[in-house]
C-alpha cells in the first residue's frame, strides 16, 4: 500500500499536521487558563471545516488577521488577569521576597506549562526571564516584564498550535506520542480545551502510556462538566445543530421560528446527546428513544404538556409522532431549505451522517426542482416527477425515500397532517428492500443497519484525530466498531475505544521523497 508516493507501513497510524486551535478551542482554553468571561475566539476569522468538522488540522490555516487578533487578545487577557482580584491567580510569589528574576521565572514556568501544554525548557525559560532586562532598559519594572512574558506565551506558536513532533521526522515507523502530546489530544477531544493540572501531572509522570491510566482519565474527564464539548462540538456538527446559528429561515413562511425556539432546539439536542454520553444507553436507542428534553417553549411547539417554565426537563414522547434524534427540531430545520422542507436534504443527511453512504454530488447543469405559486401537488409528487429525469434519478432514488419519512414535519420541525390540503404520504422503500411508514419505522431499520455503528465510529474517530480518515484507518475503524458493538454500543465506551486506538495514541513521520518533497 502506498500513500503520496511513499511506502506505507502495516498498521500505519497516520499523522496530524500542525494543529491550530479553532475559535471554540481558543475560547475554552483561555477560559480555563484565566477564568475569564471574555470570548476572544469570536473575534477570529471563521474556521473552515474538513470532513464535517471545524477541528480538522489540514484546513485550519493562519492568516495575518489571525495574528493581529491574537496579539490584541493576549493584551486584553493579560491586562484583565493582572488587575486586582485576578493577579493572585497568576502571580504566586512575591518579587520583593524571592527576587524579581526568580519570581518571574516561577510565574512563567507555572503558567507556561498550562498554556503550552508541556513543561518549558531551560532555554525557553531563560528567554522569557530576559523580559525583565528589557523592561528595565525601558524604565519599567517587574509588572512590565510580567506582562510582556505572559503575552509572549499567548502569541507563541506553542500556544496557538497543538505541536506534535517526531523524533525522526522522515521515518514512517509508528511511535507512541509523547505523554504531553497525548494529554493535549485527549483534552481537546473530550473538552475542546487545554489539559488541566491533573492530566498534566499524569503526563509529567509518564503514566498516560498505561492503558489502565488512560481509561481512568477518560472516565474522570467525561464526569467533568467540560465534557459538554462532546455534545456541543462533536455532535453539534455531526447532527448539524450548530448550523442553526447560520441557517436562514424565511420569516414569512415560518413566522413561528424565533430565536427562543432556535435556542431551544439546540439545547434539546445537547441534552439528548449528553444523556447518551453519561447514561447506560446504547446508541441504537439514539435513533429510537421515546424521550427528549423540552422547556415550556419547546413543549408547546411539540404539542406536549406544558412544563410551566424555561427549565428543560426530560419528557416522554410515547404516543406522539416524534422519535429519537431524527425528529428533533434542530435536525429537521438544519436539513431543510429556508422556505420549505427538503426530502433530498434530509435523506442525504441520514445517508452521509448516519450510514456514511452518501451518493455522489449531482452532475453539472442538473435541473432545479420547480416551485412557486403555480405549482400544485405535494412536494413528494413534484419530486417523483423530478426523478423521472435521468440526471436526477440515481441520487434521488437513494435520498428521497428516506426524506419522505419526515414530510409530516415542516421546514422548522413543526408537525403537520397535510400539505396545502393534501394528505402526506410518509411511506417508502429503501434500495435494500425494507419498507417503512413514517420516521419511527425508519428509525428501527436504521438502528439495525450494520453501516450505522460503523459510521458513528468513523465520525467519532475523525473528530478525535482532527483529520480525515484514509484507507489505512479502515482496519482501526473496524476493530473499534466490533468491540463497541459487542459491548452494547454505549457512547462513552466508543470514546474510550477511540482513545485507546493506535491512530489516537500513535503517529509517524513523513518520508522524504526524491527531490525533497514529502
Picking from 505, 462, 472, the residue whose alpha carbon sits closest to that of residue 4 is 472
Tell me the CB-side half-sphere exposure of residue 17, using CA atoms within 13 A.
11
Q: Which residue has the higher pLDDT, 290 or 511?
A: 290
Q: Is the pLDDT confidence value at 474 over 70?
A: yes
Per-residue confidence band for 518, with pLDDT thresholds at 50, 70 and 90? low
Q: Is the pLDDT confidence value at 387 over 60?
A: no
CA distance 452 to 194: 32
Q: What is the pLDDT of residues 90-103, one digit of tens each?
A: 999 999 999 999 99
Is 0.75 surpassed by the pTM of this model? yes
CA distance 383 to 342: 10
Which residues, 6+ apart, have CB-to-CB distance to 461 below 8 Å?
Answer: 469, 473, 476, 477, 480, 498, 501, 503, 504
**Predicted pLDDT at 431:** 82
> Which cell is 283 given?
446508541
**Predicted pLDDT at 360:** 81
Which residues, 6+ apart, have CB-to-CB distance to 200 below 8 Å?
Answer: 113, 114, 117, 180, 183
- Name the one residue in this structure whose C-alpha cell is 487578533: 69
Strand, helix or coil for residue 20: strand
Strand, helix or coil for residue 493: helix
Picking from 121, 116, 95, 122, the residue whose alpha carbon sits closest to that of residue 107 is 95
> Which cell is 236 given?
453539534
Picking from 84, 83, 129, 86, the residue whose alpha carbon sits closest to that of residue 106 is 129
Q: Where are the domains of the chain?
A: 21-162, 232-360+380-447
Q: What is the pLDDT of residues 303-352, one digit of tens each?
A: 999 999 999 999 999 999 999 999 999 999 999 999 999 999 999 999 99
Backbone angles phi, psi at 473, to 5 degrees: -90, -10
**Predicted pLDDT at 8:** 39
Amino acid at each position: 500500500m502506498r500513500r503520496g508516493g511513499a511506502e506505507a507501513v502495516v498498521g500505519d497510524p497516520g499523522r496530524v499536521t500542525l494543529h491550530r486551535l479553532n475559535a471554540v478551542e481558543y475560547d475554552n482554553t483561555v477560559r480555563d487558563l484565566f477564568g475569564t468571561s471574555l470570548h476572544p475566539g469570536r473575534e477570529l476569522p471563521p474556521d473552515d471545516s474538513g470532513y464535517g468538522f471545524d477541528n480538522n488540522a489540514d484546513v485550519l490555516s493562519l492568516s495575518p488577521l489571525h495574528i493581529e487578533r491574537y496579539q490584541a487578545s493576549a493584551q486584553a487577557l493579560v491586562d484583565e488577569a493582572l488587575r486586582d482580584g485576578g493577579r493572585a491567580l497568576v502571580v504566586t510569589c512575591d518579587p520583593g521576597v524571592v527576587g524579581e528574576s526568580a519570581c518571574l521565572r516561577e510565574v512563567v514556568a507555572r503558567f507556561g506549562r498550562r498554556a503550552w501544554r508541556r513543561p518549558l525548557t531551560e532555554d525557553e525559560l531563560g528567554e522569557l526571564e530576559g523580559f525583565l532586562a528589557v523592561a528595565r532598559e525601558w524604565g519599567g519594572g517587574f509588572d512590565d516584564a510580567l506582562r510582556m512574558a505572559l503575552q509572549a506565551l499567548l502569541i507563541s506558536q506553542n500556544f496557538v498550535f497543538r505541536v506534535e513532533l517526531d523524533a525522526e521526522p522522515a521515518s514512517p515507523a509508528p511511535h507512541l506520542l509523547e505523554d504531553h502530546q497525548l494529554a493535549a489530544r485527549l483534552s481537546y477531544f473530550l473538552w475542546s480545551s487545554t489539559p488541566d493540572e491533573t492530566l498534566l501531572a499524569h503526563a509529567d509522570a509518564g503514566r498516560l502510556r498505561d492503558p489502565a491510566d488512560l481509561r481512568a482519565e477518560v472516565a474522570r474527564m467525561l464526569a467533568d462538566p467540560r465534557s459538554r464539548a462532546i455534545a456541543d462540538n462533536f455532535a453539534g456538527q455531526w447532527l448539524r445543530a450548530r448550523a442553526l446559528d447560520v441557517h436562514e429561515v424565511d420569516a414569512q413562511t415560518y413566522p413561528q421560528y424565533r430565536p427562543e425556539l432556535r435556542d431551544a432546539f439546540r439545547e434539546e439536542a445537547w441534552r439528548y446527546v449528553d444523556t447518551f454520553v453519561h447514561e447506560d444507553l446504547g446508541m441504537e436507542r439514539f435513533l429510537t428513544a421515546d424521550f427528549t428534553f423540552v422547556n415550556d417553549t419547546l413543549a408547546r411547539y411539540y404539542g406536549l404538556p406544558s412544563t410551566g417554565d424555561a427549565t428543560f426537563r426530560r419528557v416522554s414522547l410515547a404516543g406522539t409522532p416524534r422519535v429519537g434524534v431524527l425528529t428533533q427540531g434542530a435536525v429537521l430545520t438544519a436539513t431543510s431549505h429556508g422556505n420549505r422542507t427538503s426530502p433530498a436534504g434530509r435523506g442525504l443527511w441520514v445517508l452521509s451522517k448516519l450510514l456514511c453512504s452518501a451518493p455522489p454530488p449531482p452532475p453539472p447543469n442538473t435541473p432545479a426542482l420547480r416551485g412557486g405559486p403555480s405549482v400544485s401537488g405535494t412536494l413528494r409528487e413534484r419530486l417523483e416527477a423530478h426523478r423521472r429525469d435521468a440526471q436526477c434519478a440515481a441520487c434521488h432514488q437513494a435520498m428521497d425515500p428516506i426524506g419522505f419519512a419526515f414530510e409530516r414535519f415542516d421546514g422548522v420541525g413543526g408537525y403537520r397532517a397535510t400539505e396545502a390540503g393534501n394528505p402526506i404520504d410518509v411511506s417508502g422503500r429503501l434500495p435494500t428492500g425494507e419498507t417503512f411508514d413514517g420516521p419511527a419505522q425508519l428509525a428501527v431499520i436504521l438502528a439495525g443497519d450494520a453501516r450505522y455503528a460503523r459510521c458513528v465510529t468513523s465520525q467519532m474517530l475523525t473528530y478525535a484525530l482532527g483529520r480525515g480518515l484514509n484507507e489505512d484507518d479502515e482496519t482501526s475503524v473496524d476493530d473499534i466498531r466490533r468491540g463497541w458493538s459487542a459491548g452494547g454500543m454505549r457512547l462513552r465506551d466508543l470514546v474510550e475505544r477511540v482513545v485507546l486506538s493506535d491512530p489516537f495514541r500513535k503517529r509517524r513521520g513523513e518520508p522524504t521523497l526524491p527531490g525533497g518533497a514529502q
